[in-house]
Amino acid sequence: MNIILLGPPGAGKGTQAAMLMNRYNIPQISTGEILRAAVQNQSLMGLKAKEYMDAGDLVPDEVVVGIVRERLQADDCDGGFILDGFPRTLPQADALKQSLEELNMPLDAVVSLQVETDVLVERLTGRRTCRSCGKVYHLQYDPPAQNNTCSCGGKLEQRDDDCEETIRNRMQVYHQQTAPLEDYYRDANLLSVIDGMAEISDVHEQIILTLQNC
């Protein structure tokens, strides 16, 4: 099962990718998470990426294309993968196409999650992430059992780019640079559009139904 999850910031890509990962036992490849880890480790790549991420802009294509190309060659991708947050530009989509052809890993589906903008902003401002294990919560829609604490015991924190000004720019960047990928994958006969406004478990079921028909 080789899948791409497409959708604006806050659409639920990470939430759904984690559920699909458990269900199909295939890895979630989130370029955002890989970049945030690089920032935390203060690697050269992380130091360069941080400026873009803090502004809500995209990190240059060649950086993320290299990350994904390498990641796809790891053994755990043999049974499939879920790309979350990649590709995000047409050049990234072209580069991915080439990598997947070389690796003989054809895409099965591109799932696009549709959510209205006001709901996205609400989701992003209420999101909390575990510092230890990365699990994602929402203060209202998916609250932790214990205040500010993950089920693993880790402390929950807010992402640096989840402030209102940066969120606004991320939305704009999405519409300008990433939204055209819907047509790109529709033309390739791979696109499935899913209503991402439903409850988390209902969205998951819709995605499963869609994937069963691929």
Using CB under 5 A, list all residues that contact Mg ion.
Answer: 14
Residue 208, C-beta contacts closer than 8 angstroms, at least 6 positions apart: 23
Q: How far is the CB of 108 from ligand AP5 (least distance, A)?
A: 20
- Whether 88 is catalytic: yes
Q: How far is the CB of 190 from Zn ion (least distance, A)?
A: 33
Catalytic residue among 36, 88, 128, 135: 88
Which residue's CB is nearer to ligand AP5, number 26 or number 123?
Answer: 123
Can residue 204 be called a binding residue for ligand AP5 (CB under 6 A)? no
Residue selected from 20, 26, 96, 123 as contacting ligand AP5 according to rule CB under 6 A = 123
- Which of Mg ion, Zn ion, ligand AP5, none interacts with 160 (beta carbon under 5 to 8 A by kind)? none
Catalytic residue among 48, 71, 97, 159: 159
How far, CA to CA in Å, does 154 sit from each of 11, 39, 121, 128, 200? Answer: 24, 19, 25, 12, 23
- Whether 13 is catalytic: yes
Distance between CA 126 and CA 213 in Å, rounded?
Answer: 34
Residue nearest to ligand AP5 (CB): 32
Can residue 72 be called a binding residue for ligand AP5 (CB under 6 A)? no
Distance between CA 64 and CA 44 in Å, rounded?
Answer: 14
Distance between CA 69 and CA 67 in Å, rounded?
Answer: 6
Answer whether 132's CB lies under 8 Å from 144's CB: no
* Residues near ligand AP5 (CB under 6 A), total: 36
Distance between CA 213 and CA 207 in Å, rounded?
Answer: 10
Answer whether 151's CB lies under 8 Å from 143's CB: no
Catalytic residue among 123, 127, 128, 135: 127
SS3 6: strand
The H or E element containing residue 112 is: strand 109-114
Q: Which residues are catalytic?
A: 13, 88, 127, 159, 170
| Positions that interact with ligand AP5 (CB under 6 A) | 7, 9-15, 31-32, 35, 52-53, 56-59, 64, 85-86, 88, 92, 123-124, 126-127, 136-138, 141-142, 161, 170, 199-200, 203
